Amino acid sequence: MVSDGVRMMSAGGVQHWVRVSGAAHGGVPLVLLHGGPGESSYSVEQSVGDALAEVTPVVFYDQRGCGRSERPSDASTYTMEQLVADLDELRTALGVERIVPWGVSFGCLLAAEYAVAHSNHVDRLVLQAPPIADPLHPGLWTMRPAAVDPILTDPERTALRAQLDGITEPMERTIAALGAISQSANAAAFFYHDPANIPPDDQNAPPPNMEVAMALVGNERAELVDDLAALDVPTLILAALWDRQVGFDIPRDLAARLPQATLEIFHHAAHSINEEEPAHYVDTIRKFLAR
């Protein structure tokens, strides 16, 4: 694999920001697939990236149009198919035959789709808070207003319920709920179980690309869980009891479906597991990779 350092690498005609760390360990690298959609690898890289690079090679990169990577001239390329193709082109450019896709939230969808499309290049999977639901589940976005409702103040809750009265379209309801939580004094509770774990503002953190978010949100394949379950890939699923973003039932049920799944439960974290329980997080991945 290429040596440690930061570089720009082309995939799908777009320059991607890539950082390699821990290459001297050799072996199959962890490749971080960040969440959002439209966020960047920055927060995960800062919280647990260096600690993981002490035990295994790690590749961080920002997906097309995200973070420190180039924005394509054609926004219609913000598709899951293109993200999968980008990842495989980056794998080839890095000079590795197999990788461990390490998905975080939305990145789990990309990790799973990559595994389905390129199982011969996947050694194992690490999935943090995977929003990969069974086809009979009502859906992450349908559940979002119910997840937001408990942590609003009483006036905010009343206002949201009034706003949603008569609206049945799931994405319209989700957008209203996200608007309510973004303006709430309790907004951080949606991502963090313990307020003491909320990181200070970091001016170096890249802003999200909402164009990417709007292109990819709600377009998950209902058949993905069945396709993933048909593979025989060792998979580590990291789930938090207090995760209101994805919930606990979706990762738990995914672990029950996959033939070689290990479910690790974090009792003192919400969606941002890597920031709330970093030592437990790193140790769990280290042990999984050592099997």
Whether omega for the bond prior to residue 170 falls within 30 degrees of 0, making it cis, is: no
* Distance of alpha carbon 70 from alpha carbon 85, whole angstroms: 16
Nearest to 218 by CA among 37, 32, 33: 37
Residue 121's pLDDT is what? 98
- Tokens standing for residue 60: 């961080």
Tens of pLDDT along 45-69?
999 999 999 999 999 999 999 999 9
Range 5-133+189-290: architecture per CATH:
3-Layer(aba) Sandwich (3.40)
Q: What percent of the chain has pLDDT over 90?
A: 87
How far CA 28 is from CA of 10, 60, 97, 124, 159, in Å, comes to 21, 14, 8, 10, 50
* Distance of alpha carbon 266 from alpha carbon 242, whole angstroms: 9
Tens of pLDDT along 217-251?
888 999 999 999 999 999 999 999 999 999 999 99
Q: Classify residue 157 by burial, with Cβ atoms within 10 Å: 0-12, 13-18, 19+.
A: middle
Q: How far is CA 109 from the centre of its chain?
A: 7
> Domain-by-domain residue ranges, the chain?
5-133+189-290, 138-185
With beta carbons less than 8 A apart as the criterion, state whether 144 and 178 touch.
yes
Q: Provide the pairing of β-strand 58-61 with 100-104.
A: unpaired
pTM: 0.95
Tens of pLDDT along 171-216?
899 889 989 998 998 888 888 999 899 889 899 999 999 999 999 9
What's the helix, strand, coil split of the chain in %, to 5? 45, 15, 40
Higher-pLDDT residue of 284 and 141 is 284
- Tokens standing for residue 223: 């058949």
Partners of 30 in the β-ladder: 58, 100
